[in-house]
Chain A
Amino acid sequence: MREIKVVQNILEINQAAADQNRQRLDGNGVLTINVMSSPGAGKTSFLLQTISGLKDKAKIGVVEGDVSSTVDAEKVADTAAAVVQINTRKMPESCSLIADMVTLALKDMPLEELDLLLIENVGNLICPSEFALGEHKRLVISSLPEGDDKPIKYPLIFTDADIVIINKLDLQPYVNFDIAAFRRTVTELNPRARFFEISCSTGEGIENWCSWLLGEIDSYKQRLKAS
């Protein structure tokens, strides 16, 4: 019996695939956002609101990794420029997208036509935080009925988030969610996080979010041009 020293990061293989995805996306100038949340926080509604808010302003593709019903998928398919569905719907044991799945999905995407790609990850606050997909930005949605303690229970996903969306603002009178305390906890973990408070039901905050996102698409394209 003998021992071989290895010391190799196991996630390097996923990271390598993610890096390749990123290169393809940059080659086509497609700003890509990995959208993550627990089940029911409003990922699909958020995609629909974002797509309609950017209508005629940006061409948007969607990779659907989490589909709660075919109705949702069809609605997204109706409004987005292109949709690829990674089918995890009948399989409750699928808990996260990984970079390889996105590589396959990108093959079916008309990337050269797109400005923005939204990847809807599987509804889960643990597993998706481990796998880079090649995205430029990581976005986490927290909704008021979930409670304001999620960043304490699931610190990793908030530590890595570039954007934190606080959704279901219209339910504030009915639930005990301390928005200021929530924002404080996330900022302590991750001073970089940028917050948007919205309601996908009433449309509150969507305009503000969409105009910021449009600015990000512009500055991303300018950065690409400059490099």
Chain B
Amino acid sequence: MAVLDFIRMHELAITENIVAISLNKAKEAQAKKISSVNLIIGELSGFAPECIQLYFDALSRNTIAQGATLNFESAPVRLRCRNCTAVFRPQADEWTCPECHSPGAEIIEGRELYIKSLEVE
């Protein structure tokens, strides 16, 4: 039976991607240093910003992203009622439609995780 070993939190996987995308975009723009990375993170997304910053600091060492600050902007949850199609923001855990009071809703925003922009020198 094959056994493969891995030690990692799921934030590590995505932080590797954040570093790779940032370095790539900075290179394209011929930047000498990345001072900050601006990220959008949905309220429903299961990623911890502190954890991403920690991994980022380690992974960006000896690159032009070393010392860069990650700025996280939270994207609110927006739902669409499956019955009347009203779009609304849920109150805490209550996902009932405020218009028609039906309980079924589809997530239209709040799961995203993307790099919006970089600040470079």
Contact = CB atoms under 8 A, between A and B. Distances in A.
Do chains A and B interact in one complex?
Answer: yes
Interface of A: 1-14, 73, 77, 83-88, 91, 93-96, 98, 100-101, 104-105, 108, 126-127, 129-131, 152-153, 155-156, 159, 184, 187-189, 191
A128 to B, nearest CB: 8
**Interface on chain B toward A: helix, strand, loop, or mixed SS?**
mixed
A21 to B, nearest CB: 14
Interface in B22-59: 22, 25-26, 29, 31, 35, 39, 44-47
A77 B116 CA distance: 46
Contacts of A6: 21-22, 25, 114-118
B4 A87 contact: yes
B86 interface: no
Nearest to B28: A4
Contacts of A86: 3-4, 6
B9 A93 contact: yes
B10 A96 contact: yes
Nearest to B77: A155
A9 B114 contact: yes
A151 B22 CA distance: 35
Contacts of B20: 13
A94 B113 contact: no
Interface string B47-77: 1000000000000000000000000000000
B35 to A, nearest CB: 6
